[in-house]
Amino acid sequence: MKHFLSINSCSSQELLELLELSIDLKKLYKSNKRVLCLAGKSLAMIFEKPSLRTRMSFQVAMTNLGGASVYVKPEDVGGIGKREPLKDMARILSGYVDGIMVRTFAHETATGLAEYASVPVINALTDWSHPCQAMADIMTAKEHFGKIEGLKFAFIGDGNNVARSLAFGCAKLGMRIEIASPAGYELDKGSIERANAIKPGTVVQSSDPIQAVKDADLIYTDTWVSMGQEEEKAKRINDFQGFQVNMDMLKAAASHVRVMHCLPAYRGYEITDEVCECENSIIFLEAENRLHFQRALLKKLMSSN
């Protein structure tokens, strides 16, 4: 595995190895031990979309492993692929750093960097895929339930990049996911077909959130208005009425159900404050695990040990 661009491009074995490494390194670091396998190495962190969790988790992970990170703002590059060709940027950065992390809009930006870079490229988010988030989510599920095979996610909301990445993760790792979305916001049919081709019956798309949560182990939601969709805010809030994760929805689920959100959460919209703070919520454990998964990912891609 040279790059990490989407869950769909990884084998089941590679994903399982990353999960096990994430959990092992987390235990090690919780016991105040360090694996300085990236000493002297540097990671370029390119951001077209800002994020608290992405920047902090990658930067801290690199520090934990003995390496360094360089934060690259959009204005530093004059817009990715605008001031200079993407293929030039990829090769220039490859001469300076040992890895490239990109959080951007178009998935083609991440794949284009990977095509021309001679160092590992990590997709920290594109509009099509959010593999680091989904793997941290699955890691959290494994920690909580002690297994992943056979678990069911109920994803309530927009069939977006997170839903797509979770769908591929479920297909590769023996889980199921039911995505409940308003009309017009479903996960695209192509992604559902690709996931179900890996393992038939993995993904079900519905319009009934209450039905979706009834036999779920995990209820997952995300913002109704992602970055770049601000002009659609009023319409989206109206369209997503009835899809809020609230205590009434939790009552329709099994008592063991756990609630997840990739954050930031807009409390009072896609999720209530009461649910965020209830005993079923594992949202902040999930957020912490971004650090632990990304530490494992960096070690896997950038270390020779």
Which amino acids are annotated as binding site, given as ranges?
103, 130-133, 161, 222, 226-227, 262-263, 290
130 in active site = yes
Spatial separation of the C-alpha atoms in residues 123 and 67, rounded to whole Å: 19
Task: Answer whether 128's CB lies under 8 Å from 163's CB.
Answer: no
Which residue, among 140, 91, 133, has the nearest Cα to 6 in the 3D structure?
A: 133
144 in active site = no
194 in active site = no
The DSSP letter of residue 218 is E
Binding-site residue set for carbamoyl phosphate: 103, 130-133, 262-263, 290
User: Could you identify the residue written with the tokens 């920047």?
Assistant: 55
Spatial separation of the C-alpha atoms in residues 79 and 92, rounded to whole Å: 15
Binding-site residue set for L-ornithine: 161, 222, 226-227
Alpha helix stretches (DSSP H) within the chain: 12-30, 52-64, 74-77, 86-94, 107-116, 131-145, 161-173, 189-198, 209-213, 233-239, 247-251, 273-277, 283-302
* Catalytic residue selected from 133, 205, 244, 294: 133
Spatial separation of the C-alpha atoms in residues 68 and 155, rounded to whole Å: 36
* Catalytic residue selected from 130, 164, 236, 258: 130
Spatial separation of the C-alpha atoms in residues 217 and 154, rounded to whole Å: 8
* Catalytic residue selected from 103, 176, 236, 292: 103
Distance set, CA 278 to CA 147, 273, 282 (Å): 23, 9, 9
* Catalytic residue selected from 164, 258, 261, 290: 290
Q: In what order do the strands lie in the sheet with 258-261?
A: 203-206, 176-180, 152-156, 218-221, 258-261
The DSSP letter of residue 247 is H
* Catalytic residue selected from 244, 258, 261, 262: 262
Which residue, among 157, 143, 149, 141, has the nearest Cα to 229 in the 3D structure?
A: 157
* Catalytic residue selected from 170, 222, 261, 295: 222
Task: Answer whether 298's CB lies under 8 Å from 144's CB.
Answer: no
205 in active site = no
Which residue, among 190, 144, 146, has the nearest Cα to 8 in the 3D structure?
A: 190
Active-site residue set: 103, 130, 133, 222, 262, 290
